[in-house]
Structure 1
């Protein structure tokens, strides 16, 4: 059975100006721990972009009618074979499968973030938790470095 190698947690207010803080926290985690996985710098940039997309979606969409003091919790867990990011919000749930995929060469209002996320990482899951919060799970699988 695989176990968590390292994990961290961050709670921030629902404000777009905190995106830099969120990304710096994540980058620091990566610098400290991701040397345990054999990932390229490009893969780490894609993960950071996925985190940014998930966080800004929580602020702009999930929390758009809630006060800025409403918190967003972010968990990052490094396993032997993957990295997981969980972004927790208090907004109304939505069904990402109901979003029509943009046709190449056409314009549509909204929905691009969900498809960007799915192309940046290996797995994206959005579900409502028992505590009434929504969780966006972002997973990137990696190869364990040979010892």
Structure 2
């Protein structure tokens, strides 16, 4: 499934770091960056998280919440956040229900081996809960800045 700009973002409710439960309904009224990433503590995912963290105050000024989502456990997320000083929420979708709803749980291939995994994707949701922008197959370098510019423009 691919997301369509201007349509309602798929509803979700996930456990997140700091003992939070994050839902689309609970975020209404704020812009939300959902960045989907494959795995805590891998090079690309670490760089992406650090880039979003570096711009955290700018996103906050733009009234935009950052939420990282992966199928990793909350325990893994807590270690990842602590190791890199991340102060935004990481949500855990171990059942892959939300990942599938957003179309980011896909078949991947490496060295001829096919497997299911998260396609690095970012979704910007406006304050009304609508999909405002989608970045598929994200290349990490410069990505957080591009997302911030889009959030500011909303």
Superposition TM-score, scaled by structure 2 size: 0.26
Larger Rg: 1
The normalised TM-score by structure 1 is: 0.26
* Higher helix content, 1 or 2: 1
